[in-house]
């Protein structure tokens, strides 16, 4: 069984972390900034050393390609992103790119030649903190986000994505956008507390939660807090209070369901006035689209019933956003599980609660992800940290899955 060179991988991560290093021990490499370019240049120098060709598509996605015997075959791809949050950590995104590089380096060490080429892709602007939205490069790549609209997007100083791509020489070949990919595997830190809490080394990621967002308005009648008897009121907060617990109870459907009310505003917001309006937001999540639809229907039913309880009360709901659940490719998920098993790493199946470039890639190619723990589940934070052993374990599982795909 092949193993990655753990010290080489760790040293590369630590060298990359010197670029845009922050005082708090984290990284700041905002998308398409000079620091982002320096990070990309370092990655390019490493990939070139082992014979990779370097290319960009027209939204600046950086593609390092390790040639195969038959380069007309679609590549197997790995990757993630090199850009960070303003106060980002040393592992979010970077890990997936450099673990992919380490897999290519290891195959190169063994003079391994596959039929098909192997790619590591550093997606442009995954974080979305300088230019909205997040996962920009992979979204444009698969055609989910519009290229022209994306190029015209500006940062807070009015600098456009297009001008930054041109400045750095990243406005590459349109033909590379959405080029066929045989399979895509992304390694990433979990960015949550579950693996550490369960004392597992590898997260076999089976998919990504579906998300539904809503705005809800509850209306009543504003009256004076003194003269109006309780039984003669239509207090919007009273109705909203019943609704809050009923809405949270929707998530009792099973252990994978989530329901969150994150915003809650009372009008007119005066101590001695019975509230006439409460607005709240609801975020429902589930990895299974049918279950999520059941939750959606339950929420709509709750709001409908709420209106008929008493004269003077009404409630309305608006559907704001739907991001369907993603189920990763079964064969790839199996080979990741087998890789963890063969290396005797502890592992568990896990559903990603956060978005990743892999979500978009899963729409055009068989896709899966490998998670490793991060201390305390902390991410998007300078304190973000992962252990060297876990970093190496995730890369070994990635190598195992890539090697299996290439030799099947
Ligand atoms: Zn990330």
Q: CATH number of the domain that 241 lies in? A: 3.30.70.360
| CA of 146 relative to ligand 1 center, distance in Å | 22
DSSP code of residue 29: -
Single out the residue in 300, 323, 346 at which a domain terminates.
Answer: 323
178 plus 68 within the same structural domain = yes
- Domain with 114 in it: 6-208+325-407
Distance 71 CA to ligand 1 centre (A): 29
Q: For the chain, how many structural domains are there in total?
A: 2
- What is residue 319's three-state secondary structure? strand
Same domain, 181 and 233: no
Torsion angle of alpha carbons 230, 232, 233, 239, nearest 10°? 90
Task: Give 406's contacts (C-beta < 8 A, 6+ positions apart).
Answer: 76, 114, 115, 116, 118
CA 227 to ligand 1 center in whole angstroms: 57
93 Cα–ligand 1 center, Å = 4
204 and 217 within one domain = no
Do 56 and 11 reside in the same domain of the chain? Answer: yes
* Polymer length in residues for the chain: 408
In the numeric block, the tokens 């098993």 are attached to 341
Q: 376 in a domain, yes or no?
A: yes
Distance CA 403, CA 5 (A): 15
CATH number at residue 385: 3.40.630.10
Answer yes or no: do 386 and 249 share one domain: no
158 CA distance to ligand 1 middle (Å): 25
Domain boundary, last residue among 323, 345, 370: 323
Compute the distance from residue 208 Cα to the ligand 1 centre, in Å. 14
CA 286 – ligand 1 centroid, Å: 21
Place of tokens 């390694």: 187
How far, in Å, is the centroid of ligand 1 from the Cα of 85?
Answer: 9
Q: What spacing in Å lies between the alpha carbon of 187 and ligand 1's midpoint?
A: 10
For residue 1, tell me if it sits in a domain. Answer: no
How many other CB atoms sit within 10 Å of the CB of residue 56? 21
* Span from the CA of 290 to the centroid of ligand 1 (angstroms): 28
β-partners of residue 315 are 218
Q: How far is the CA of 385 from the centre of ligand 1 (A)?
A: 13
Q: Is the pLDDT of residue 24 over 70?
A: yes
Contact 287, 256 (CB under 8 A): yes
pLDDT tens for 212-253 read 999 999 999 999 999 999 999 999 999 999 999 999 999 999
Prediction pTM value: 0.87
Question: Does residue 32 sit in the same domain as residue 98?
Answer: yes
Kindly state the tokens that stand for 129: 């903190």
d(CA 328, CA 316): 35
Instruction: Give residue 354's pLDDT.
Output: 83
Residues 219 and 231 reside in one and the same domain: yes
Note whether 101 and 241 are same-domain residues: no
Query: For 38-90, how does the pLDDT look when each residue is reduced to its tens digit (9 = 90+)?
Result: 999 999 999 999 999 999 999 999 999 999 999 999 999 999 999 999 989 99
Please check whether residues 172 and 231 belong to one and the same domain: no
Domain boundary among 308, 323, 338: 323
Structure tokens at 323: 């991001």
Neighbours of ion ligand 1 (CB under 5 A): 92-93
Q: What are the percentages of helix, strand and coil residues in the chain, rounded to 5?
A: 35, 25, 40
pLDDT digit string, tens, across residues 361-393: 999 999 999 999 999 888 888 989 999 999 999
* Cβ neighbours for 272, distance < 8 A, ≥ 6 positions apart: 224, 225, 226
Same domain, 79 and 168: yes
Residue 207 Cα, ligand 1 centroid: separation in angstroms?
Answer: 15
- Is 373 inside a domain boundary? yes
* Of 121, 166, 190, residue with least CA distance to 360: 121
The rounded mean pLDDT for the chain is 95
Considering the domain architecture, whether residues 246 and 158 belong to the same structural domain is answered as no
159-218 pLDDT, tens digit each: 999 999 999 999 999 999 999 999 999 999 999 999 999 999 999 999 999 999 999 999
- Model pLDDT, residue 309: 64
């Amino acid at each position: 069984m092949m193993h990655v060179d753990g010290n080489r991988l760790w040293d590369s991560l630590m060298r990359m972390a010197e670029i845009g290093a922050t005082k708090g021990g984290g990284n700041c490499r905002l998308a398409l900034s000079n620091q982002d370019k320096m990070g990309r240049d370092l990655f390019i120098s490493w990939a070139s050393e082992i014979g990779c060709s370097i290319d960009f598509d027209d939204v600046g996605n950086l593609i390092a390609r390790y040639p195969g015997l038959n380069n007309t075959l679609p590549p197997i791809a790995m990757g993630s992103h090199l850009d960070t949050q303003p106060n980002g950590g040393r592992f979010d995104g970077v890990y997936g790119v450099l673990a992919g590089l380490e897999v290519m380096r290891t195959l190169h060490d063994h003079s391994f030649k596959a039929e098909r080429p192997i790619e590591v892709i550093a997606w442009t602007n995954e974080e979305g903190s300088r230019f909205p939205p997040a996962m920009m490069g992979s979204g444009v790549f698969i055609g989910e986000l519009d290229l022209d609209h994306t190029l015209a997007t500006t940062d807070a100083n009015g600098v456009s994505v297009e001008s930054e791509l041109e400045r750095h020489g990243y406005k590459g070949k349109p033909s590379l956008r959405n080029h066929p990919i045989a399979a895509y595997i992304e390694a990433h830190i979990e960015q949550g507390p579950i693996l550490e809490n369960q004392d597992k080394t590898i997260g076999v990621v089976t998919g990504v939660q579906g998300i539904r967002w809503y705005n809800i308005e509850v209306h009543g009648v504003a009256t004076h807090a003194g003269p109006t008897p309780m039984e003669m009121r239509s207090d919007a907060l009273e109705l909203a209070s019943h609704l809050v617990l009923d809405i949270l109870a929707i998530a009792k459907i099973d252990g994978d369901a989530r329901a969150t009310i994150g915003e809650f505003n009372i009008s007119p917001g005066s101590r001695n006035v019975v509230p006439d309006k409460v607005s709240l937001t609801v975020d429902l999540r589930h990895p299974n689209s049918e279950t999520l639809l059941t939750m959606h229907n339950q929420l709509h039913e709750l709001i409908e019933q709420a209106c008929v309880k008493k004269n003077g009360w009404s409630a309305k709901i608006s559907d704001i956003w739907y991001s369907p659940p993603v189920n990763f490719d079964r064969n790839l998920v199996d080979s990741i599980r087998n890789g963890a098993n063969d290396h005797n790493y502890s592992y568990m199946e896990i559903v990603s609660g956060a978005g990743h470039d892999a979500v978009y890639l899963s729409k055009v190619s068989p896709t899966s992800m490998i998670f490793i723990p991060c201390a305390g589940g902390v991410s998007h934070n300078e304190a973000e940290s992962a252990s060297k052993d876990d970093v190496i374990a995730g890369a070994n599982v990635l190598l195992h899955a890539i090697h299996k795909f290439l030799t099947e």
